[in-house]
């Protein structure tokens, strides 16, 4: 067991349970980074010594969920403003900085995994197919939303990489098996997301390997 490692994640990280050596792995479905930070703070504030805390989050911070239980409706979408890409990215960057500041106050070193995109089309159609929603309202806007989401995530991932480097920790690069870059252009392998959000078995194995490698390296540098 890695004695100093604690992991907090949204539902995507459930595939890590029992596969990664750590003191704690807490999965919060739909968990935004601020929520995960609160859990980490409460769990770790009374534990002596330096802790290494990993966060696997991002999609719930960027995307929104519209829901009306009376009409059996729910749909994930990207809110649009006059400068939505910049605003979404800036908000999440600020949350990352605030998270590190809060946990540093209780002697934690913080590591952020890069964010893997989701597919609005695949996810919402999946929810429709299993009866979790009776209809979809934003289907015609999915292509535009997807382009904006991918742009936001690219910006935030660059920030995460630099932020982790500044803190002298190894980054778990979760995004790169899905976000393929060649000659500066990205293509996205959405078929590696079983329902448009959660990883396939093969992608989960890559995530487990990359997180385990980062944990081992960061523990050695402890």
Which domains are delineated in the chain?
Answer: 5-220 (3.40.50.1110)
pLDDT band at 84 (very low <50, low <70, confident <90, very high): confident
Average pLDDT over residues 124-152: 97
The span from the CA of 131 to the CA of 145, in Å, is 23
Is the model's pLDDT at 1 over the cut of 70?
no
How far is 171 from 56, CA to CA, in rounded Å?
11
CA distance 109 to 167: 8
The whole model's pTM is what? 0.95
Given a cut of 90, whether residue 221 has pLDDT beyond it is no
Mean pLDDT in residue range 92-109: 98
pLDDT band at 62 (very low <50, low <70, confident <90, very high): very high
- Mean pLDDT along residues 108-133: 98
Mean pLDDT of 182-207: 96
**Mean pLDDT of the region 87-99:** 97
Does residue 141 register a pLDDT over 90?
A: yes
Q: Determine the average pLDDT of the residues in 70-91.
A: 91
Mean per-residue pLDDT of the chain: 96
Answer whether residue 81 shows pLDDT above 80.
no
């Amino acid at each position: 067991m890695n004695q100093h490692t604690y992991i907090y994640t949204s539902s995507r990280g459930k595939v890590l349970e029992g596969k990664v050596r750590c003191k704690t792995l807490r999965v919060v479905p739909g968990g935004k980074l601020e929520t995960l930070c609160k859990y980490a703070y409460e769990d770790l504030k009374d534990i002596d010594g330096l802790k290494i805390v990993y966060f696997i989050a991002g999609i719930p911070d960027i995307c929104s969920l519209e829901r009306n239980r009376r009409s059996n409706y729910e749909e994930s979408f990207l809110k649009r403003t006059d400068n939505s890409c910049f605003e979404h990215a800036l908000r999440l960057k600020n949350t990352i900085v605030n998270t590190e500041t809060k946990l540093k106050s209780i002697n934690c070193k913080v590591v952020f995994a890069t964010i893997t995109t989701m597919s609005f089309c695949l996810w919402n159609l999946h929810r429709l197919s299993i009866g979790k929603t009776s209809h979809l309202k934003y289907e015609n806007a999915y292509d535009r939303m997807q382009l904006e989401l991918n742009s936001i995530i690219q910006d935030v991932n660059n920030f995460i990489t630099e932020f982790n480097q500044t803190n002298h920790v190894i980054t778990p690069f979760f995004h790169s098996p899905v976000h393929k870059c060649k000659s500066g252009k990205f293509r996205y392998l959405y078929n590696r997301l079983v329902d448009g959000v959660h990883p396939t078995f093969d992608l989960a194995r890559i995530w487990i390997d990359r997180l385990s490698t980062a944990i081992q390296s960061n523990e050695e540098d402890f």
